[in-house]
Amino acid sequence: MRLDEAFEFKGYWWRPDDPDKMVAGVLSYKPGESIILELIGTFDKENNAVVAFLNKAEEGIIHGVLGNAKKVTLVKCYPSGSVNMSSFFPIIRYTCIYCFIGRHYGGMDDEGRFKIAVHYPELPHWCHPGVLRETFLEDKEKKGQIISLSFEAIVGGKTLNAVELDDGFKLQIKGGASFTGDYAMLNNGIGQTSWLEISHKEMVSFNKLLSRVYQFEEFLSLATMRVVEASEMSFYDEDYYQEYDSGDKHYHSIDFFSSHWRGKDSEKVDNARFLFGYEAIKDRYGEIMRAWYADVNDMYPVRNNLVDSLEKKRLFSNMDFLILARALDGYCIRSKYKGSITNRMKTVIDKFSDVSRIKRDGINVDELVDSRDYYAHFMPRSRKEHILDGFELHALTKKVRRLLICCVLSDLGLDNAAIDMIFKNSNSRFITE
């Protein structure tokens, strides 16, 4: 089930510690908005609508079963709604943060032999699956060509790259193809895609797996120069499978939904606008990913601000500049650059002065520092001589973002020559404009 598709299911719901008290209700999901459970009744013994409304409380976990017999776990459920004085039964509404469809669990800290498969709209464009093959044969009657499409139907997908991290996690980019059609073979479809699979060699919690997912999202956002978010997430549990007579096991997927999902990006994915593609770093992919996840220099806040700056906005504001300027200073502090903020900024600009794009930008340190101080500390304009605003501040923001990209790439082990080559080969508007 996809994160960008709404649904509504009827079912029965109960508290894990009181499974005998079942209440009918409807579970609905609106992408980018909410996960809502509306109960026709209450978990408490009190059936008076007003009393039940006044006594409603947060539920850490709610279990349920849908009409199709699928089990559901709702996590962090907050009550809301209104009371109908004329009703003889209460209607309680819960806004839920997380939802599992497939099994019952006790919470996000539950541990098990779990793995997660995550689909991103950008990933097949960034790392092409390459599992669908085309064969062109010449027609013997010379009337055209015979085109044949084929792919390997590998259970679990074909591993395109696998990286084992120092903390025991394993990241795999996988590729696979699918064939759909009717029994008459009149309307058929064939496609291929790439996805990310994360597992651990030992027991692991849902929270820790999701943390690694979000870290990969930030890396892919940097690589594609757009805010990346999963379109589908499925957990797999070693204890949740069907065993065939042959002894083979088929592991069932457990669909996962989060109310934190921002919503579908309507902009078409264009790999010509990426900062770099998988092929550009293929030989160093494992090294780069281990550096990204190890984050020995605590670059997470810096990287997070950089990714946030890629979000499409209708209007430019001084905060768009400020989050990048602060992140740049954060990198300087982590790099142990000495002296005043002016000296730190001079040092980082000099560090990447042989990257042709940075050299061409010619960042004015006084304008950078004065504008940063002015917008960060709300000081009187008279105290700073080189404050920019409007279009000039917008232009400086673009330059600071490019400099910050250099900082992040450098932290991953790329030298200035490699960074310069990435910039020269990129058509991203964040690099060229």
pLDDT surpasses 80 at 363: yes
Give phi and psi for 410, each to the nearest 5: -65, -40
Q: What is the average pLDDT across 390-403? A: 97
Give phi and psi for 174, each to the nearest 5: -120, 155
Confidence at 51, pLDDT banded by 50, 70, 90: low
* Rounded Cα distance, 420 and 352, in Å: 9
Q: What's the mean pLDDT when you consider all of the chain?
A: 90
Smallest Cα–Cα separation from 260: which of 94, 99, 101, 34?
Answer: 34
Q: What is the average pLDDT across 182-200? A: 86
Cβ neighbours of residue 269 closer than 8 Å, sequence gap 6 or more: 121, 122, 125, 224, 226
Q: What is the average pLDDT across 186-208? A: 92
What is the share, in percent, of the chain residues with pLDDT greater than 70? 93
> Can you tell me whether residue 305 is helix, strand or coil?
helix
Greatest Cα pair distance in the chain: 85
Length, in residues, of the chain: 433
> Can you tell me whether residue 138 is helix, strand or coil?
strand
pLDDT recorded at residue 138? 67
Q: What is the average pLDDT across 373-386? A: 88
* Rounded Cα distance, 421 and 414, in Å: 11
pLDDT recorded at residue 1? 83
pLDDT surpasses 60 at 397: yes
CB 348 within 8 A of CB 419: no
Structure tokens at 184: 């008459």
Alpha-carbon radius of gyration of the chain: 26
* Rounded Cα distance, 148 and 135, in Å: 5
Give phi and psi for 281, each to the nearest 5: -125, 15
Least confident of 12-21, 78-87, 159-168: 78-87
Confidence at 387, pLDDT banded by 50, 70, 90: very high
* Rounded Cα distance, 127 and 198, in Å: 16
* Rounded Cα distance, 344 and 25, in Å: 59
Long-range contacts of 383-391 (CB under 8 A, 24+ apart): 389/318
* Rounded Cα distance, 350 and 344, in Å: 10
The string of pLDDT tens digits covering residues 149-180 is 777 777 788 999 999 999 999 999 999 888 77
Smallest Cα–Cα separation from 174: which of 193, 189, 190?
Answer: 193
Residue 185's Cβ-count burial label (10 Å; 0-12, 13-18, 19+) is exposed
Confidence at 44, pLDDT banded by 50, 70, 90: confident
Confidence at 47, pLDDT banded by 50, 70, 90: low
Confidence at 263, pLDDT banded by 50, 70, 90: confident
Q: What is the average pLDDT across 363-391? A: 92
The string of pLDDT tens digits covering residues 315-355 is 899 999 999 999 999 999 999 999 999 999 999 999 999 99
Structure tokens at 90: 């209460």
CB 373 within 8 A of CB 365: no
pLDDT recorded at residue 55? 60
pLDDT recorded at residue 93? 87
The string of pLDDT tens digits covering residues 277-320 is 999 999 999 999 999 999 999 999 999 999 999 988 888 999 99
> Can you tell me whether residue 143 is helix, strand or coil?
coil
Least confident of 49-53, 94-98, 99-103, 372-376: 49-53
Confidence at 357, pLDDT banded by 50, 70, 90: very high
Domain boundaries, the chain: 7-101, 111-229, 297-432
| Cross-strand pairs, 79 | 94
* Rounded Cα distance, 32 and 296, in Å: 33
pLDDT recorded at residue 353? 96
| Cross-strand pairs, 158 | 175
| Cross-strand pairs, 133 | 150
* Rounded Cα distance, 201 and 188, in Å: 39
pLDDT recorded at residue 117? 97
Strand ranges (DSSP E) for 244-360?
A: 249-258
Write out the H or E segment, with its range, that includes residue 319: helix 318-334
Which of residues 267 and 345 earns the better pLDDT score?
345
Confidence at 140, pLDDT banded by 50, 70, 90: low
Which of residues 185 and 30 earns the better pLDDT score?
30
Helix 390-411 × helix 300-308 angle, to 10°: 140
The string of pLDDT tens digits covering residues 84-126 is 555 666 778 899 999 999 999 999 999 999 999 999 999 999 9
Structure tokens at 102: 């497939």
* Rounded Cα distance, 335 and 298, in Å: 10
